Amino acid sequence: MLTFSIIAAGTYLVLYVTLYAGFKVSEKLKHNNDYLPTVSVIVAARNEEENIAGCLESLKNLSYPTELLEVIIVNDSSSDKTKEFVLENIREHKNFTLTDSSENISKIFPGKANAVDCGIKISRGEIIMTTDADCRIPENWIQETVKYYDEKIGMVCGFTRISEDNGFSAKVQAFDWLYLLSIAIGSSGFNRTLSCIGNNLSFRKKVYDEIGGYGKIKYSVTEDLALMIAIRNSGYKIRYPVNPLSVVVTDKCKTFFELYSQKKRWFRGGTDIGFFGYFVGVLMYTVNAIMMTGFVYLPLNLYIGFFLSKFICDILIILPAYKKLHYRGLYKYFFIFEIYFMIYGILLPFTFLTGYKVKWKNRKV
């Protein structure tokens, strides 16, 4: 186990130095500030009566030219007053539209993917941008995203941070997202994007149509990741810029069950990511397992060295985003996050013992 642990630590170091280099590439992406395409923003909303007000208000305050922008809210079979609330709040905004998701008879892409697809079908924008009903959008979100497109770019991903104003659990979850999205940005820097997040995502409508939309994509509980993989496999490039002006803010998971369901859904969806994704996942799992058990079989000095090397690697990938995106005070939760990540990283594969299905937004997927 000693040799194995040393090899794992060395491989982890090489990987994270590579991800750091990729992050630096993503920090310096070329962009065109004069590019102003027509844009359709799509928000799929299911039982979001209590959450969507902030999202609608921030969308109304977008600084993008109104004549180039439409906002489509898709009521995804809500059983509460989401539809009525949205109608009341968009009445005076001519470029806002509310539509209902249609019944997906084929069941090929149920749930949120069907709702987003319904929005795309009636959209007129050259660029599709998606976010969630519980998010707040910065006023320059659109122009600070679309400027990274050129003829070879099929998708531009964005960074989302969890609001840190709601106590201890919010700060730990915020650190978790900072870490995971920093890795995604780093991987994108060398064209191996590992993940994206649908509450801050954009893609060309033409590219979506070329690949056949969600109806032609293998079903996944993480429809945003499935779309990203399909666009990448079709030959288009994915970009993941590090831009504080395009950062979307969302809220933490409020209950343990909600957090459990989110992690299980991400893990299940991530099983389709491909060889590099599996390599990173297995390596992370191995390193976390050694962190948790190494004190039994490693000499104390090597075990401490393993801990320190792991922490240094994680700081290496977190620090650039932490500074660039203006995080403040979150560093105090680093060691707590490391313990949190180690525990759930080890336990996550075992969640499938409770069944393969995931309950999300009161719907089993």
pLDDT tens per residue across span 67-102: 999 999 999 989 999 999 999 999 999 999 999 988
pLDDT at 185: 97
Alpha carbons 135 and 198: distance in angstroms, whole number: 11
Residue 269: is its pLDDT beyond 50? Answer: yes
Sequence spans of domains, the chain: 1-31+151-351, 36-147
The residues, any chain, with a CB within 8 Å of residue 316's CB and separated by 6 or more, are: 16, 17, 20
pLDDT at 103: 66
Residue 107: is its pLDDT beyond 60? Answer: no
Residue 235: is its pLDDT beyond 90? Answer: yes
pLDDT at 106: 43
CA 91 from centroid of its chain's CA atoms = 31
- Number of CB atoms found within 10 A of residue 158's CB: 25
Higher pLDDT, 331 or 109: 331
With tokens 């719907």, the residue in question is 363
CA dihedral 37, 147, 116, 194 (to 10 degrees): 150
Pairing outcome for strands 153-157 and 237-239: parallel
Report the percent of the chain where pLDDT is more than 90: 75
Higher pLDDT, 128 or 77: 128
Residue 284: is its pLDDT beyond 60? Answer: yes
Residue 105: is its pLDDT beyond 50? Answer: no
User: 146-195: per-residue pLDDT in tens?
Assistant: 999 999 999 999 999 999 876 899 999 999 999 999 999 999 999 999 99
Alpha carbons 127 and 40: distance in angstroms, whole number: 6
Beta bridge partners of 162: 250
- Beta-sheet strand order (sheet of 153-157): 96-100, 69-75, 39-45, 127-132, 201-204, 153-157, 237-239
pLDDT at 357: 62
Specify the amino acid at residue 293: T
Alpha carbons 341 and 336: distance in angstroms, whole number: 9
Tell me which architecture the domain covering 36-147 has in CATH: Alpha-Beta Complex (3.90)
